[in-house]
């Protein structure tokens, strides 16, 4: 399955989110039912998911830059994801600070990674667009 079309970079990010949401839901269900231990199983699984996401975005960006000469700005779906996940990440951090525990620490850590990843993607897309503008 190809993550994105060079003509529509939004599809790559959207497909990546579509793949990530079920993966996170399945991992959460496995953790709550005791199939996977919270520590270190969940920490390893979420870290592995983050690494796979970084590699897929890197490959998608590389493919897009090789095929297409002009870069676009961050798409609306990426901005929506940023506005949804940023308050959720802040809420996870506040919950951890109010009552520190291992489950809340894992949630806060994953939230920080996810929100940081989304904002980094927006930053890189906007920076790439700025580099391609005529001077």
pLDDT-derived band at 127 (thresholds 50, 70, 90) equals confident
Does 56 have pLDDT greater than 70? yes
- What average pLDDT does the chain have? 77
Does 69 have pLDDT greater than 70? no
Does any domain span residue 40? yes
Tokens of 47: 């870290």
**3-class SS string, 38-93:** HHHHHHHHHHHHHHHHHHHHHHHHHHHHHHCCCCCCCCHHHHHHHHHHHHHHHHHH
Does any domain span residue 21? yes
Does any domain span residue 116? yes
pLDDT at residue 11, rounded to an integer:
66
Model pTM score: 0.44
Domain, as residue range, for 99: 9-132
- Higher-confidence residue of 106 and 42: namely 106
Based on the structure, what is the number of domains in the chain? 1
Does any domain span residue 128? yes
């Amino acid at each position: 399955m190809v993550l994105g079309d060079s003509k529509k970079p939004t599809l790559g990010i959207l497909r990546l989110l579509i793949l990530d949401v079920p993966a996170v839901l399945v991992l959460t269900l496995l953790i709550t039912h005791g199939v996977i231990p919270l520590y270190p199983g969940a920490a390893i699984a979420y870290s592995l998911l983050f690494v796979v996401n970084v590699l897929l975005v890197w490959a998608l960006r590389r493919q897009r830059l090789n095929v297409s000469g002009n870069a676009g700005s961050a798409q609306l779906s990426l901005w929506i994801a940023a506005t949804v996940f940023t308050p959720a990440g802040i809420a996870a951090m506040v919950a951890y600070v109010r009552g520190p525990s291992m489950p809340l620490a894992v949630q806060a850590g994953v939230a920080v990674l996810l929100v940081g990843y989304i904002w980094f993607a927006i930053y890189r897309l906007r920076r790439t667009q700025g580099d391609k503008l005529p001077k």
